Amino acid sequence: MEPGSGPGSGPWAATACVVTGASRGFGRSLARLLAPQLGPGSVLLLLARSAEALTELAAELRAGSATGSATGSAGLRVQCVAADLGCEEGLRTAGAALRELLQDASFGRLLLVNNAGSLGDVSKSFLDLTDLEEINTYFSFNISSALCLTSTALRAFGARPGCSRTVVNISSLCAREPFRSWALYCAGKAARDMLFQVLALEEPGVRVLNYAPGPLDTDMQLLARTKTGDPGMRQHFQRLQENGQLIESSVSAQKLLQLLQEDSFPSGAHLDFYDI
């Protein structure tokens, strides 16, 4: 990357920015913060299952772009792809959209945020997980799709001289610590972290970050405190909510944006909201 062209040096011009799981929660908050950061010639590609929620968000960001408000950047193009990344057809749809977007040689920067993910059935203990189809479906969405989309994006963008490529994996404390009743979620997050650590080793020209956003005040936390099978874990999540310890998605997304702007993290690092 050329001196002075780093993420901290003003709006990111000619940037292809992709956010998965963008229709709600952390992904939606991050998209709102990234939009005004994207400069001329940039495209924000939003991926999620819900076409309606994506359309609403895109309209909001385009309106912000037109008025120069805090949720838009002048001239920003916003594209939506409604696809279920947990099935082959949805993954093919998303991959085709990425290849079409990233073949544009005018982009000088790629930012891919792998945010899409699910909690799984946390009412079940380890010994309850006997259904191979359920297990494979979970890992296909939470691990395989992130791997396929990232490799597809990086191959499509290529190693362009003077250009920057950054890949973010939305991780979790569960990638590092076991939680009762959360075998699938913990295993999925740990696997994703390791995949992206390997990417950082193999591709030193790509900036890679595993970012754990902390306990967010989202629908996933509602599931955690109402559906978790282990009583102690369920009470733990209930106390977080009762004591006001859950983090607003926009607050955590702002910390991630700060990390990307400073661009000083070691590639492949796992950084937690509370580390920053």
Structure tokens at 172: 């979790």
Closest CA to 180 of 234, 259, 251: 234
Supply 132's token pair: 């191979």
pLDDT of amino acid 227: 97
C-alpha pair distances (Å), 81 with each of 44, 132, 252: 11, 29, 25
- Rounded to two decimals, the pTM is 0.93
Q: Write out the chain in H/E/C secondary structure.
A: CCCCCCCCCCCECCEEEEEECCCCHHHHHHHHHHHHHECCCCEEEEEECCHHHHHHHHHHHHHHHHHCCCCCCCCCEEEEEECCCCCHHHHHHHHHHHHHHHCCCCCCEEEEEECCCCCCCCCCCHHHCCCHHHHHHHHHHHHHHHHHHHHHHHHHHCCCCCCEEEEEEECCHHHCCCCCCCHHHHHHHHHHHHHHHHHHHHCCCEEEEEEECCCECCHHHHHHHHHCCCHHHHHHHHHHHHCCCCECHHHHHHHHHHHHHHCCCCCCEEEEHHHC
What's the pLDDT at 1? 39
The backbone torsions φ and ψ at residue 128, rounded to the nearest 5 degrees and listed phi first, read -85, -15
Q: How far apart are CA 224 and CA 236, in angstroms?
A: 10
b/e for 152-168, b at 16 or more Cβ within 10 A?
A: bbbebbeeeeebbbbbb
pLDDT tens digits in sequence order for the chain, 276 residues long: 333 344 444 689 999 999 999 999 999 999 999 999 999 999 999 999 999 999 999 999 998 765 555 555 557 899 999 999 999 999 999 999 999 999 999 999 999 999 999 999 999 999 999 999 999 999 999 999 999 999 999 999 999 999 999 999 999 999 999 999 999 999 999 999 999 999 999 999 999 999 999 999 999 999 999 999 999 999 999 999 999 999 999 999 999 999 999 999 999 999 999 998
**What's the confidence (pLDDT) of residue 95?**
98
pLDDT value of residue 69: 56
